[in-house]
Amino acid sequence: MRKNVFLCSLGLALSAMSADWSISVDPSVEIGAIKPINAVNCGPTNPRGAQGKAFKAANIPYARTHDMNHSWSYGGPYALDVSAIFPNFDADETDSKNYDFTLTDRAIEWMFAADTKPFFRLGQSIEPWGKTYHVNPPKDYAKWARICEHIIAHYTEGWADGKKLDIKYWEIWNEPDLDKKTWTGTKEEFFEFFKVAIKHLKQRFPNLKIGGPAMAHPFRWKDFFIPACAKEKLPLDFYSWHRYCSDVRESSRYGREVREYLNKYGYEKTESIYNEWNYVKGWSGGDWRYSRQVESSVFNQKAAAFAAATMIECQNSPIDMAMYYDVRTYGGMNMLFESVTHQPMRGYYPFYAWGRMLKDYPSQIKCTLTPNGKKVEDVFAVAARSRDGKLALYISRYTDDNNIRHDVTLSLKLPQGKRYRCHLTDDWRIYTEFPLEVSEDGTAKLVLVPASFAFIEVE
């Protein structure tokens, strides 16, 4: 186990060690709000357990309900999907006796107990087994919409012994463009289904945000779906889309392209929600096995750096919300929680630190990264300010080649403050606090080893 060096001391001369990057923070220039980039797919399994407590501590803003149906922790096939809540499609949708809210109610209650709001996916979980059961086009599109109307009314208006909960986002379907695993009909059939559903639900609930459809690839139906929505003048409050990758800059690139795409067709006010992302080097063979090792405890240090860098890229692009997939402890793609104990791993702490910013440092301020003579492209940073003038600096060092070149030295130019705190996560430290001492001109040095991230607070 290596003992990397953390060099930040009073009066440290910059000439003592050449820096690869200079990072300066200007609190006088406000850029915008810190966004809910640390949202996730799937909620906590128990608000009193390790995962529930960690959810609350990390200030996770939203949990998307997609694929919770695949986990017995939430109720398995008896929870959250439309077919689980309303199991007999031929039954009377106006009769509350035909709905089973029991386990879905519990999963939603667990979210609110952890101070996390549901992002409710109306539809079905993926069916990758070769035979489909519930991802076929509904027999009656209008009836499906009315069933969803009653589900929403149960959670927001108290219908059928429900509650009046603050659930703002309601998403219609998931990945209709994925080959027959999530929608077995044609794209034309899906659009007709989506049109019927969103018109009905938006008319019934004008103050809620109704959107979708959680595209597996944001542009697979580029010349069809959004143009068709625009032609029909559909009320699309948000457009949700997915992208898995190992290059974090894909997140910001797609974010910019999606925003331009929506604006082109008149959806300037439609939110762009990136609601599935994770580290995936490839979907088969050795690349897939390696990807799962990154998310597990084997290479979880790399997962943490990837997550931190991805969130920074999303913040610095026109993405309104990002949602990590996912936190099911037995789901196979969970980098946050250990599968047996449900205790946080290294991959949890970028979400925890971002939650600190979201709550305590809500305004993004100017942060300038300058390379000092060396071409290095693996450092990412964002700075934020509290309402009373305290500052935060969130830094990640990540590349998919595992940063094999060298350690990176950062020269940090921070406003002078009364107290400096730094938490570092790397190959042998897990969100470990170090006293950050800064020279009189506000300059310090920080050495980041490959795949690491730091969270610095200045009071």
**What confidence score (pLDDT) does residue 3 get?**
38
Q: Under a CB-based contact definition with an 8 Å cutoff, are residues 144 and 150 in contact?
A: no
Query: What are the structural domain ranges in the chain?
Result: 14-32+362-458, 35-360
Distances (CA, A) of 268 to 13, 36, 116, 250, 431: 49, 19, 28, 22, 39
Averaged over 274-286, what is the pLDDT? Answer: 95
Q: Which helix (H) or strand (E) holds 125?
A: none
Angle at 93 between CA 91 and CA 98, to 5 degrees: 60
**What confidence score (pLDDT) does residue 9 get?**
26
Q: Under a CB-based contact definition with an 8 Å cutoff, are residues 423 and 278 in contact?
A: no
Averaged over 166-180, what is the pLDDT? Answer: 96
Q: In this predicted model, what pLDDT tens digit does every residue of 352-363 receive, in sequence order?
A: 999 999 999 999
Q: Under a CB-based contact definition with an 8 Å cutoff, are residues 427 and 4 in contact?
A: yes
Q: In this predicted model, what pLDDT tens digit does every residue of 393-408 receive, in sequence order?
A: 999 999 998 766 678 8
Smallest CA-to-CA distance from 258 within 302, 198, 309, 214 is with: 214
**Residues β-bridged to residue 98:** none
Averaged over 315-328, what is the pLDDT? Answer: 96
Q: In this predicted model, what pLDDT tens digit does every residue of 206-241 receive, in sequence order?
A: 999 999 999 999 999 999 999 999 999 999 999 999
Q: In this predicted model, what pLDDT tens digit does every residue of 144-165 receive, in sequence order?
A: 999 999 999 999 999 999 999 9
The answer to whether the predicted template modeling score (pTM) of the entire model surpasses 0.85 is yes
Averaged over 162-182, what is the pLDDT? Answer: 96
Q: What span, in angstroms and rounded, lies between the C-alpha atoms of 186 and 296?
A: 37
Q: What span, in angstroms and rounded, lies between the C-alpha atoms of 144 and 139?
A: 8
- CATH class of domain segment(s) 35-360: alpha beta
pLDDT over threshold 50, residue 335: yes
Averaged over 19-36, what is the pLDDT? Answer: 93
**What confidence score (pLDDT) does residue 376 get?**
58
**What confidence score (pLDDT) does residue 373 get?**
65
Higher pLDDT, 440 or 458: 458
Higher pLDDT, 16 or 99: 99
**What confidence score (pLDDT) does residue 1 get?**
38
- CATH class of domain segment(s) 14-32+362-458: mainly beta
**What confidence score (pLDDT) does residue 375 get?**
59
